[in-house]
Amino acid sequence: MTEQNNGSKRRNKFLVVVDDTPECKTAIRFACRRAWHVGGGVTLLNVIEPPDFQHWMGVEQVMRDEAREAAEELLQSLAEQIRKDTNIIPEFAIREGNTKEQLLQLIEEDPDIRILVLAASPDTGGPGPLVKSLVGEMSGTFAIPITVVPGNLNDQQLDAVS
């Protein structure tokens, strides 16, 4: 580990973007197993897309509040499973906006995030828009390594490669 200017040690963290896709849990398991093996941490990022509904501000705020509450519940549920499996207590980040923009901003803000873990969709339509964008368009300029895990791996296969 490297020393920060203030003398405290930095902790290598694996970042996972949490969404409602089935392959998301694959990325989480891989990141948590890798973090457990190297003594690192895990950060779970959930990005809430801003509502398109803007006719009534009160309704828009209720929709935002409901989305945030759902994100918090999802992350708490995932955290319980992570603690049970690995004893790691993950950090949470809930942001509103464009997923790619918020992801890049979080990586810039937290120098302890050292690896981004994504899972590719097993569907025939391609790996998914975030994977396609980050690994394709930005691969040569991205600030940290990106690990893309096949989304169709089962727990035993994930444990074997992590």
* CATH number for the domain harbouring residue 42: 3.40.50.620
* pLDDT tens, residue by residue, 135-149: 777 767 788 999 999
Check residue 139 and give its pLDDT. Answer: 67
Strands 41-48 and 113-120, by their bridges, are unpaired
Check residue 111 and give its pLDDT. Answer: 95
Provide the whole-model pTM.
Answer: 0.85
Burial tier of 124 (Cβ tally within 10 Å: 0-12, 13-18, 19+): exposed
Check residue 126 and give its pLDDT. Answer: 72
Residue 13 phi, psi (nearest 5): -120, 145
Domain-located, residue 118: yes
Is residue 28 pLDDT above 60, yes or no?
yes
Domain-located, residue 95: yes
Chain mean pLDDT for the chain: 86
Domain-located, residue 1: no
Is residue 152 pLDDT above 60, yes or no?
yes
Check residue 136 and give its pLDDT. Answer: 73
Containing domain of residue 120, as a range?
Answer: 13-161
Domain-located, residue 113: yes
Question: What is the sign of the dihedral through the CA atoms of 116, 70, 92 and 54?
Answer: positive
Contact residues for 122 (Cβ-Cβ < 8 A; gap 6+):
23, 150, 151, 152
Domain-located, residue 31: yes
Check residue 20 and give its pLDDT. Answer: 83
Domain-located, residue 90: yes
